[in-house]
Chains A and B, each alone.
Chain A
Amino acid sequence: MSEPLAALEAVGLGKRYGRRWGLEDCSLRLPTGRVAALVGPNGAGKSTLLRMAAGITRPSAGEVRVFGQSPQDQTIEVLRQIGYLDQERPLYSSFRVGEMLRFGRRLNPGWDDSVARAYLSELGIPTDAKVGKLSIGQQAQVALTMCLAKRPALLLLDEPVAALDPVAREGLMHVLLRSVVDDNTTVLLSSHALSDLATVCDYVIILSESRVHVADDLDYVLASHRLLVASSQEAPEIPPGVVHISTTRSQRQTDVIVRVEQPVTDPAWRVLEPTLEEIVLAYLREQGPRTPTMSPGAHGEAGGTAR
């Protein structure tokens, strides 16, 4: 079966900073048309992954491909297809918004000025305003507008909603989602505001300690994890055939997040469906070598480590 071209594909991708790996052995395959959430604590390697995909940082190991092309070797072709928004949102504060647009038009052959102007007028941002005089929220919207006006096939957004108030955050998300509808854009955005993303994303990548723990469809991620609850006094054994992710124990109650391939029927446990937030937290809590790695297509073997 020949698979359609992935928007983003990484195989054994790694980046070393001196002796430390910023990202290690990262393999994932993001299909076209998805909105993917890249989640993990600060320093987990989220920005490193995005920067390598954008061709800004060169990998130390493995490779990354954007629509089948290497951002390092075919930079121009890849750059044309991606919109990358850095965490720092580099804008020129002394420029007027209109000047930023002219700047963008000159640098980008695929630039669509009508898209940019439509978004700005809808957002109520005048083109004669000085960028430095805009609110943080408006600056973020201008920066995203600059990305969207390229009509990119892949948007790489590093913490696009951090530091935004809820209204600005919502406005930005709506602009982003509309471009997904209009242009079938694939989006990969990093964030630690997970609650915002649960309804927005349909693909989840969980990074911690420089490693990918999960990279899969949201539906699959939700369907393949269970929250097992039992009384702490009884503390039953973790049922066989599941992969243990994390345990939290209070005086009376023990909660265990596990990865499952078959339904858990052990009557000693109450079996619940965890939320995305609970699943992500479980992976982030339980770091280090104990955590089994879940990579696409190669699901880990059963039999977890009950503690």
Chain B
Amino acid sequence: MEPEAPLISFRLDPRTGVAPYRQLVDQVRQAVSLGMLRAGDRLPSVREVVTQITINPNTVHRAYRDLEHEGVVEGRPGLGTFVIASSPSPMTSEERQVLLDELRHWVIRARHSGLDAEGVAALMAAAVRTEDPAPR
């Protein structure tokens, strides 16, 4: 029995084109870098995840395995999967603000050139895809 609610909830965005297991990996990494998950925290069990979101259990296993290879989490047999890394690449709130400000300027320029929100998102996704060192 798992009486307590899981620490985090996953979500899947079918429109991004990002593979579902990668979306889970990214969300855990993000939760860790934002401090929402800390060392020692237990990730939701596979059973809990398939009750939260409609996803293949093997996909969750695969995401957790990848996170283990990346040194973010550790599987403890019979107990679950636990976070071992706190914020692998710690980003200060100032750093985040600088990035966000730059992005805002870019978005304003894109808007002035006539791009709508969808166009902005499409360009952004294209840029991320070409810069991603390990697609899929």
Q: Which of A86-94, A170-178, A237-245 contacts B (4 or more CB under 8 A)?
A: A170-178
Q: How far is the CA of A182 from the CA of B56 in the complex (A)?
A: 13
Cβ of A200 within 8 Å of any chain B Cβ, yes or no, is yes
Picked from A178, A223, A275, the residue with its CB within 8 Å of the CB of B51 is A178
List 16 interface pairs A-B (beta carbons < 8 Å), by A numbering: A35-B56, A35-B58, A170-B54, A174-B51, A177-B54, A177-B57, A178-B50, A180-B56, A182-B47, A195-B14, A199-B14, A199-B20, A199-B59, A202-B56, A223-B136, A273-B17
Cβ of A266 within 8 Å of any chain B Cβ, yes or no, is no
| Chain A interface residue count, Cβ-Cβ cutoff 8 angstroms | 21
Task: Give residues of chain A (217-267) contacting chain B, Cβ–Cβ below 8 Å.
Answer: 223
| Chain B interface residue count, Cβ-Cβ cutoff 8 angstroms | 16
Residues of B within 8 A of A (CB): 12, 14, 17, 20, 46-47, 50-51, 53-59, 136
Chain A to chain B: the 8 pairs with minimum beta-carbon distance, closest first: A177-B50, A173-B54, A181-B47, A181-B57, A199-B20, A199-B55, A202-B56, A174-B51
Picked from B12, B17, B136, the residue with its CB within 8 Å of the CB of A199 is B12
Picked from B12, B14, B20, B50, the residue with its CB within 8 Å of the CB of A181 is B50
Cβ of A168 within 8 Å of any chain B Cβ, yes or no, is no
Cβ of A77 within 8 Å of any chain B Cβ, yes or no, is no
Check if A201 sits within 8 Å of B17, measured CB to CB: no
Cβ of A198 within 8 Å of any chain B Cβ, yes or no, is yes
Cβ of A196 within 8 Å of any chain B Cβ, yes or no, is yes
Query: Which residues of chain A are near B53, meaning CB under 8 Å?
Result: 199
Check if A177 sits within 8 Å of B56, measured CB to CB: yes
Q: How far is the CA of A173 from the CA of B136 in the complex (A)?
A: 25
Check if B56 sits within 8 Å of A199, measured CB to CB: yes
Q: How far is the CA of A170 from the CA of B14 in the complex (A)?
A: 15
Check if B54 sits within 8 Å of A200, measured CB to CB: yes
Q: How far is the CA of A39 from the CA of B20 in the complex (A)?
A: 20
Closest to A176 in B: B50
Provided the pairs A181-B46, A198-B14, A273-B17 are in contact, do residues A174 and B58 lie with their beta carbons within 8 angstroms?
A: no
Q: In angstroms, how far is the closest chain B Cβ from the Cβ of A204?
A: 12
Q: Mark A3-38, 1 if CB is under 8 A from B, else 0.
A: 000000000000000000000000000000111000
Provided the pairs A182-B47, A199-B12, A202-B59 are in contact, do residues A275 and B54 lie with their beta carbons within 8 angstroms?
A: no
| Best-buried of B17, B46, B47, B51 by chain A (most CB within 10 Å) | B51
Closest to A275 in B: B17
| Best-buried of B14, B47, B53, B54 by chain A (most CB within 10 Å) | B54
Query: Which residues of chain B are near A198, meaning CB under 8 Å?
Result: 14
Q: Mark A77-117, 1 if CB is under 8 A from B, else 0.
A: 00000000000000000000000000000000000000000
Q: A174-B51, A178-B47, A181-B47 are in contact. List 17 more A-B contacts (CB 8 A).
A: A33-B58, A35-B58, A170-B54, A173-B54, A174-B54, A177-B54, A177-B55, A178-B50, A181-B50, A181-B57, A195-B14, A199-B53, A199-B55, A199-B56, A200-B55, A273-B17, A273-B136
